């Protein structure tokens, strides 16, 4: 297929429908090497959280959809509810080979989340209710929230039939406010419909119990079109934006991880070896004032050139760390352990400029640093030593000091 422009979008949708729609082989063949050429200019060198960049993406949405942004009208899916109440699953699908992918994705992320018994789970953007039913069969108490009243009615009627522990509520990403706290919040195939996911994540983490999780699966994590985030420009996404008015965004891995971290969450980003299962994420709410253990820090700070263990993050003499600043947090204090019988000299630099030089004495000490930017990249260059030579143990590595925890304030 040649490159198409805005004036050809209606023809593109009509042709796709005439070939059987997105799920048909003929339509997929017609899409071929689909490319869309926007008229609207989007400058992805801008701050991805800025209103300027957001407004450019909204202008692109209007070009693609040929309508105003109205989620409560555009994000709905019409269907015959009676055909789905008594079906084996909410979608009414009877092809196991295709449908099992949903359970592979959900099982993949829920297994990694390590939820407690009988967890209280919020299923945001629950849609047809498949993910809510899946969670309920695992023993969860589920609150299912969706923008579409018809989906909520389907979930309620199937719940009445199957007696699952599911409470369904009509609500949007922008206006929902719960009156309880949750052990986990699930976004399955829906977070990409949030126009500002960073704001939704910041609100959602406040609905969690201490140590609660936000998990997602079935989301578009890629760098195919934009450096940070933006509307996806593949054939299927463009088709859905034009025909239904859905907001079909996608993000880079670094950007969506950063969205969680700047809200005070430690992130475990997992990529399945099964190509169709794709990426999943488990983000854990952390209390910044408490001492964070190394395992928590690994999900909150990127370490490059360090030796990572559950109870120690060991410098090898030259390593970097990238810290995403949380709102209202300005300082980080690292707990340091020096197992060497003498002091270790440490130089800390930021963007090539040395900002601190210090000496870590034997035993325990601390290093405090003032965070001045949303993203802080620090390089630690320090003396190294070989434990087997200096204290006679079995460790033959050339190492430096260890970080055993950190506190943010």
- Predicted pLDDT of residue 319: 97
- Give CA–CA dist 188/377, Å, rounded: 32
- Predicted pLDDT of residue 44: 93
b/e code 294-308 from CB counts within 10 Å (16+ = b): bebbbbbbbbeebee
Q: Which residue has the higher pLDDT, 344 or 290?
A: 344
CB 42 within 8 A of CB 60: yes
Q: What is the CA radius of gyration of the chain?
A: 25
- Predicted pLDDT of residue 78: 85
- Predicted pLDDT of residue 76: 84
Average pLDDT value for the chain:
95
- Predicted pLDDT of residue 165: 98
Given a cut of 90, whether residue 162 has pLDDT beyond it is: yes
Domain ranges for the chain:
38-285, 294-408
Given a cut of 80, whether residue 2 has pLDDT beyond it is: no
Rounded mean pLDDT, 236-257: 96
Q: Which residue has the higher pLDDT, 291 or 136?
A: 136
Q: What is the dihedral of CA 60, 62, 65, 71, to 10 degrees?
A: 110
- Give CA–CA dist 190/187, Å, rounded: 6
Pairing of β 402-408 and β 331-338: antiparallel
Q: What percent of the chain has pLDDT over 90?
A: 91
Q: How far is CA 271 from CA 214, 279, 327, in A?
A: 16, 4, 28
- Give CA–CA dist 355/385, Å, rounded: 24
Given a cut of 90, whether residue 369 has pLDDT beyond it is: yes
The model's pLDDT over 174-223, given as tens digits with 9 standing for 90+, comes to 999 999 999 999 999 999 999 999 999 999 999 999 999 999 999 999 87
Rounded mean pLDDT, 244-273: 95
38-285 placed in CATH 3.40.50.150: yes
Rounded mean pLDDT, 29-44: 94
What would the 3-class secondary structure string for the chain be? CCEECHHHHHHHHHHHHHCCCCCCHHHHHHHCCCEECCCCCCCCCCCCCCHHHHHHHHHHHHHHHCCCCCHHHHCCCCCCCHHHHCCCCCCCCCCHHHHHHHHHHHHHHHHHHCCCCCCEEEEECCCCCHHHHHHHHCCCEEEEEECCHHHHHHHHHHHHHHCCCEEEEECCCCCCCCCCCEEEEEEECCHHHCCCHHHHHHHHHHHEEEEEEEEEECCCECCCCCCCEEECCCHHHHHHHHHHCCCCEEECHHHHHHHHHCCCEEEEEEECCCCCCCEEEEEEECCCCCCECHHHHHCCEEEEEEEECCCCEEEEEEEEEEEECCCCCCEEEEEEEECCCCCEEEEEEECCEEEEEEEECCEEEEEEEECCCCEEEEEEEECCECHHHHCCCCCCCCECCEEEEEEEC
Given a cut of 90, whether residue 288 has pLDDT beyond it is: no
Q: How far is CA 54 from CA 40, 172, 196, 373, 398, in A?
A: 13, 19, 8, 21, 48
What is this structure's pTM?
A: 0.93
Superfamily name with CATH number, domain 294-408: Galactose-binding domain-like (2.60.120.260)
Q: Taking the CB of residue 375, how many other CB atoms lie within 10 A of it? A: 14
Q: How far is CA 252 from CA 58, 223, 305, in A?
A: 18, 5, 23
CB 386 within 8 A of CB 396: yes
CB 128 within 8 A of CB 76: no
- Comparing 71-85, 254-268, 346-360, which segment has the lowest mean pLDDT? 71-85
Q: How far is CA 13 from CA 10, 29, 220, 231, 233, in A?
A: 5, 14, 22, 17, 14
Given a cut of 80, whether residue 1 has pLDDT beyond it is: no
Question: Among candidates 408, 214, 399, which has minimal Cα distance to 297?
Answer: 408
């Amino acid at each position: 297929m040649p490159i198409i422009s805005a004036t050809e979008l209606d023809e593109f949708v009509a042709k796709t429908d005439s070939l059987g729609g997105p799920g048909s082989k003929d339509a997929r063949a017609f899409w071929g090497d689909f490319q869309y050429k926007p008229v609207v200019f989007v400058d992805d060198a801008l701050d991805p959280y800025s209103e300027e960049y957001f407004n450019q993406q909204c202008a692109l949405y209007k070009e693609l959809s040929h309508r105003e942004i109205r989620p409560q009208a555009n994000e709905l899916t019409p269907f015959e509810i009676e055909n789905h109440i008594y079906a084996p699953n909410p979608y009414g699908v009877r092809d196991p080979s295709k449908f099992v992918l949903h359970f592979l994705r959900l099982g993949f992320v829920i297994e990694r989340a390590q939820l407690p018994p009988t967890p209280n789970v919020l299923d945001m953007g629950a849609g047809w209710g498949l993910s809510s039913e899946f969670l309920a069969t695992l023993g969860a108490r589920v609150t299912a929230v969706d923008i579409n009243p018809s989906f909520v009615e389907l979930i309620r009627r199937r719940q009445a039939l199957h007696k699952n522990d599911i409470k369904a509520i009509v609500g949007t990403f922008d206006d929902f406010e719960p009156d309880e706290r949750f052990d986990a919040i699930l976004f399955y195939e829906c977070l990409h419909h949030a126009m500002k996911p960073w704001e939704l994540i910041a609100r959602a983490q406040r609905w969690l119990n201490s140590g609660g999780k936000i998990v997602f699966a079935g989301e578009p994590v890629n760098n195919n079109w934009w450096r940070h985030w933006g509307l996806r420009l593949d054939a299927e996404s463009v088709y859905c934006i034009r025909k239904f008015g859905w907001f079909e965004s996608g993000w880079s891995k670094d950007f969506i991880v950063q969205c969680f971290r700047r809200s005070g969450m430690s992130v475990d980003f997992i990529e399945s070896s099964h190509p169709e299962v794709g990426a999943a994420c488990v983000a854990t709410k952390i209390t910044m004032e408490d001492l964070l253990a190394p395992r928590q820090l690994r999900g909150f700070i990127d370490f490059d050139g360090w030796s990572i263990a559950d109870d120690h993050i060991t410098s090898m003499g030259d390593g970097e760390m990238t810290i995403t600043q949380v709102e209202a947090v300005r300082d980080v204090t690292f707990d340091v352990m020096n197992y060497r019988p003498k002091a270790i000299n440490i130089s800390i630099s930021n963007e090539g400029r040395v900002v601190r030089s210090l000496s870590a004495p034997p035993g325990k000490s601390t290093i405090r640093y003032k965070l001045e930017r949303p993203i802080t990249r620090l390089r630690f260059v320090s003396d190294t030593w070989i434990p087997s030579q200096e204290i006679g143990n079995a460790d033959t590595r050339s190492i430096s000091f260890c970080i055993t925890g950190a506190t943010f304030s």
